[in-house]
Amino acid sequence: MGAKKSNRPEITVIGCGTPSPTPDRFGSAHLIDIAGEKLLFDCGPATTWKLAQNGVKTTEIDTVVFTHHHFDHDADFPTFILTRWDQMVPRDRELFVYGPTLTEEFTNGIIDEDYGLFRHDWKARVGHPGSHVTYVDRGGILPRSKPLVIPKDVGPGVIIENDRYRVTGAPADHVQPFLDSLAYRIDTDEGSVVITGDTAPCDSVTELSRGADVMMIMCWESHDHIKGTDHEIATCSIRGAAETAEEAGVKELVMVHIGARLALPESAEANEKEAREVWGGELVWGYEGMKVPWPK
């Protein structure tokens, strides 16, 4: 018998940017691998292509979880759904989708048979003989089904639980009441990871993160740029992210959703200094394609 696979979450940063595209980052997406099962958190611009760059096929992912529905967190989802479905052989497999309010509407709006904006695509591939040839050559078995996607709107509390991991959601302060936002904690018997999504410092995210091994948190701007503006009710500064990690007692702080100005090489020294004013633990500055190191 082979060795048992570890249940310790393996984390890959797929998207580490913001709504502002730069040459090396754009939007948000994170891949969590638990004993070979891959969960995708958010699906921002170009996520499908970035997964391929990191050697991950869309067909390896059966679960997608959204923090909220700003475009920099969900814009590539139509591409992800259709690519996964198109490449899945010999037959399609269910894709489970979780997220706050709008997740069901958004997903059905992509593929619904009567009103989905991309129904023309999958209907053509299901119906045309030329598409049948391509599908069979790839290893598919006819007849072909429509994409099997099961979306579910969720709120705070346990979202997914099985014998390998538990995913728990908590409210994250962002742009309510326009959009609901959730942060998530993934717990296994070998470690825990928190993905905050976009958030301002808030008690609910701090409580969700208590004692976690890894916290991946939005880091939009420096404190001096945010202080005294309405950014304070919707986003984390470097200091705000560091204070949240310190109060929650996490082992490792990973800065993601990093603002374009902070991502400039000339900002690195000031960024580190601001974080270290309040955070003495392990600190990681995220970048796209990073395999997040497990805390020592």
Per-residue pLDDT tens for 150-175? 999 999 999 999 999 999 999 999 99
Quick one: fold of 10-285?
Metallo-beta-lactamase; Chain A (3.60.15)
> From CA 40, how far away is CA 47, in angstroms rounded?
10
Contacts of 81 (CB under 8 A, 6+ apart): 95, 107, 110, 111, 118, 147, 149
Per-residue pLDDT tens for 192-238? 999 999 999 999 999 999 999 999 999 999 999 999 999 889 999 99
Per-residue pLDDT tens for 182-205? 999 999 999 999 999 999 999 999
Q: Residue 33: helix, strand or coil by DSSP? A: strand
CA–CA–CA angle 7, 158, 4 (5° rounding): 15
pTM of the predicted structure, to 2 decimals? 0.97
Helix ranges restricted to H, the chain: 47-53, 71-74, 77-87, 103-111, 119-127, 129-137, 203-208, 223-226, 238-248, 268-276
Q: What are phi and psi of 150, to 5 degrees?
A: -120, 95
Per-residue pLDDT tens for 75-116? 999 999 999 999 999 999 999 999 999 999 999 999 999 999
Q: Which two tokens stand for residue 77?
A: 């989802």
What's the whole-number mean pLDDT along residues 267-292?
97
Q: Which residues pair with 98 in a beta bridge?
A: 65, 152
The predicted structure's pLDDT at residue 2: 58
Residue boundaries of the structural domains of the chain: 10-285
